[in-house]
Chain A
Amino acid sequence: MNRSAATIEVVARTRIPLPVLAVASLVLVTTALAFVFFVAPNDANQGFSQRIFYFHVSIAITAYALFAGAAWKALRHLWKRDPRADLESYVFVHQGVIFGTLVLLTGSIWAKISWGRWWLWSSDQLVLFLVLFLFYCAYFMLRFSVDPGPQRANLSAVYALFGVVLIPVSFAAIRLAKDIIHPVVFTLKGPQFGGWILVTYCIAQVAVPVLAYTLYRLELSSKRLDIRLRDLREVLA
């Protein structure tokens, strides 16, 4: 067995099994839902509608993490020529776009309740996140306009790597903009809330990434299974 094949086998063995991840997601998300709706107190200003914050912020940070993961895998593809990295980068981008859609949806619902508008073009944070989201949507156009092979893998990796630059820009925009409408809850002094709100937020912030990672692994496993079945069909033909 060559070195790379041995490495793949070791990684596959040391990975957490999918059913374990699914059960962990189930437990964490159920706990998060219970805390969000039955433990966390109502916000003094926004009341019940503020509870969407626990999902919106957690999903947004998870989306950033998924795009960062895609860039990391893209770097591994370009640098180490890791044979698994291209597919992993693609799945990270795919999950990132799904979570990005959820960020825009939950953000719009919250904006309608808080500001009376579904969308505000004057908010830098919103527009920059939309730019980041559309940039990664275009990733699929690039990827599927090139035939499968090393060229497609290289182009996709370079594109995913460039996109990661937008993450700190999007994250910092809210703190650099003077005329901010979007609330800032995490400053250099720490989170601007405490007690049960902080506890609930922490649980949601653990639950959503675990769910995202489980979905990532599910998609990755099904795509690898597809590839293996195609290879087997070729051998048997």
Chain B
Amino acid sequence: MTTAEKYVTAAYCVVFALVLAYVLIMALKLQRLERDVDEIASRVSEENAEEAPREPAHVG
């Protein structure tokens, strides 16, 4: 390999390394965010169910 060819190889490796690092970090972050949103959504639906208006009933 000549010096120019080594530079081309290094450039390809650096570009792909950056892309792959971005993909890996984003994949982990998105998975965590999905879990968090699932949890918040289930809490909101539970709270909404508790706050649902009750049917009036005759007392006494």
A residues contacting B by CB (< 8 A) are 17-19, 21-23, 25-26, 29-30, 33, 36-37, 48, 211, 214-215, 218, 221-222, 225, 228-229, 232, 235-236
Contacts and interface: CB of A to CB of B under 8 A. Distances in A.
A218 B26 contact: yes
A25 B44 contact: no
Interface size class of B (residues with CB under 8 A): 20 to 34
Contacts of A21: 27
A37 B31 CA distance: 34
A236 B8 CA distance: 53
- 8 A-B pairs with the lowest CB-CB distances in the bound complex, closest first: A22-B27, A18-B27, A22-B24, A37-B9, A221-B30, A19-B27, A22-B23, A26-B20
A37 B20 contact: no
Nearest to B13: A33
Contact of A29 (B5, B20, B34): B20
A229 B19 CA distance: 27
Contact of A236 (B1, B23, B28, B44): B44
B37 A19 contact: no
A25 B24 CA distance: 9
A48 B5 contact: yes
With most chain A CB atoms within 10 A of its CB, the pick from B1, B20, B28 is: B20
B37 to A, nearest CB: 5
Contacts of A235: 44, 48
Contacts of A221: 30, 34
B16 A229 contact: no
B15 to A, nearest CB: 10
